[in-house]
Amino acid sequence: MSRGVGLKVLLRLRLSAHDAHYGGGLVDGARCLGLFGDVATELCIRLDGDEGLFRAYESVEFLAPLHAGDFVEAEGEILSVGKTSRKMRFEARKVIVPRPDLSDSAAEALGAPVVVCRAVGTCVVPADKQRSP
């Protein structure tokens, strides 16, 4: 395995009413991209000891909606490492959903996670900032 290739990071959090942007508690897709940015930052820190900079997304797919109260996990993996570039793949999955039809505080862990977003992007860590953590 090349240095860093296959390194993975997983972040899990609950979306709040503050995250809702549209009617019905719908959360906008940009929230997933923000999570991917946090995952990319951790991957760069673990690999290079520096936060790096997000350069570009190669692809982004929004596949299912997210709502306030959902628990979502965002995972990232380094696919390739160049001199300064780090190509990564990302996936966000909904793992718990609120159940307001049952009660105000009811929720349900999903039997199988629902993939809500996938993306591929590249981060850059300048050579003079790279160090082994």
Assign residue 30 the CATH number of its domain: 3.10.129.10
- Which two tokens mark 121? 């992007």
Is residue 133 scored above 70 in pLDDT?
Answer: no
Q: In this structure, is residue 1 part of a structural domain? A: no
Per residue in 17-54, pLDDT (tens digit) is 999 999 999 999 999 999 999 999 999 999 999 999 99
Is residue 129 scored above 80 in pLDDT?
Answer: yes
User: What range defines the domain where residue 117 resides?
Assistant: 8-129
Contacts of 125 (CB under 8 A, 6+ apart): 44, 47, 48, 50, 52, 53, 84, 86
Is residue 132 scored above 90 in pLDDT?
Answer: no
Helix (H, G, I), strand (E, B) or coil at 63: coil
Q: Give the Cβ contact number of residue 63 at 10 Å.
A: 14
The percentage of residues in the chain with a pLDDT greater than 90, rounded to a whole number, is: 95
